[in-house]
Amino acid sequence: MASRRTLLKVIILGDSGVGKTSLMAQYVNNKFSKQYKATIGADFMTKEIVIDDTVVTLQIWDTAGQERFQSLGVSFYRGADCVMCVYDVNSAKSFESLENWRNEFLVQASPSDPEKFPVVVVGNKIDVEDGKDSKRVISEKKAKSWCTSKGGLMHFECSAKEDINVDAAFEAVARFAVQNEDAEEDVYLPDTVSIDTRGAAPSSGCC
């Protein structure tokens, strides 16, 4: 029986078309569609899993890869416990963008220790290489060595379409996030003497 409950916030980032939405949909709903649908703004889905003794509610934020569909900015990055950076193993450009995505995230989310902030790198669409028109351009080795050079980021290769490694990647994300949770918890400490410093607080009574 789980003894603790916790809510974790995970952000999925990456270029347009790498399969962020597909990974989330596969993980949360076990569904996959090959149709491309752009994501507008940011939206989350939740999934409960048990990690060791803890019931973890993962709040997974799927984001728009296209900047023009991010009109409200990225303030939802704040308070994230882990970030998943996705690229398409068949697109060199999407791999090269990882650096930018990670940096942008660290700048905007300003976690307490950016160097140690948990980032999981996911190479999606590995199913394509098994097909007849193999076109993989980012080898696992290349990706791993990049991850090592960035301070040992965790790396997974997945296929949202074939459901390969998707659960493993998200579980790693969740474990990572649990470890990091305390670091990012912005604990509210009530003053011993409560002084209302504000003029007129909304006085909407309840019940």
Partner 1 sequence: MQRADARDADPARAARWLDEAKASVKEHAFRMKRAADEDNLREALKCASLMLGELRATTPAPRGYYELYIAASDELMHLRRFFGDKSRHGRSCVELYELVQHAGNILPRLYLLITVGATYVELGEGSARDVLMDLVEMTRGVQQPMHGLFLRAYLSQMSKGLLPDKGSRYEGEGGNIDDAVEFLLQNFTEMNKLWVRMQHIGPSNGKKRREGEREELRDLVGKNLLALSQLEGVDLQLYRETVLPRILEQVVNCKDELAQPYLLDVLIQVFPDEYHLATFEEVFSTMSMLRANVRVGSILNALLGRLLSYAEETPEAKSEFEAADVFPKSFECCQAIIGAHDDVPAKEIIGMYAALMAFARKLQITEAGTLDDILLALANSLQSKLPITDPEVAQQLSTLLSDPLESCELSVVLSLKSYPKVIALLDEDTKKKVALGVVQTLVKNRSTLTTVDHVKMLYDFIDCVVSADAKEASQAMEDVEKERSAAIAEEQNVVARVVHLIKAPEDNHELQLEMLNTAYDILLKGGPRRIRHTFPALVFAGIACGRDIVPADANNDDKEAISFTTPIEVKSPWLKKSLHFVHKSITALTEVAGRHEKALKLFLEAAQLAAVANLESIAYEFFERAFVLYEENITDTKKQVNLLFIIIGTLHKVNVFGADSRESLVHKTTGYSARLLKKPDQCVGAYTCAHLFWTETVKDSDSVASCLKKSVKIANAVRDTFGGNAANRIEALGLYVGILNKYLYFYDKTPEGCTSVTVEALQALIDMINTELSSVGDVRNAESIGALRDVEQSYANTLTHIRQQKHKVEDGTADRYSTLVV
Q: Where do contacts with partner 1 occur on this chain (CB under 8 A)? A: 5, 7, 9, 33, 35-41, 43-46, 57, 59, 64, 66, 68-73, 75-76, 78-79, 186, 188, 190, 197-199, 201-202, 204-207
Helix spans in 65-113 (H): 92-96, 98-109
Question: Between residues 149 and 194, which has the closer beta carbon with respect to partner 1?
Answer: 194
d(CA 10, CA 17): 19
Listed in sequence order, the residues at least 6 apart from 179 whose beta carbon sits closer than 8 Å to its beta carbon are: 118
Question: Between residues 37 and 141, which has the closer beta carbon with respect to partner 1?
Answer: 37
- DSSP result, 2-14: --EEEEEEEEEEE
Listed in sequence order, the residues at least 6 apart from 13 whose beta carbon sits closer than 8 Å to its beta carbon are: 20, 63, 83, 84, 85, 86, 101, 102, 104, 105
Name the phi and psi angles at 107, rounded to 5: -70, -45
Question: Between residues 25 and 153, which has the closer beta carbon with respect to partner 1?
Answer: 25
Least distance from partner 1 to the Cβ atom of residue 52, Å: 20
Question: Between residues 1 and 206, which has the closer beta carbon with respect to partner 1?
Answer: 206
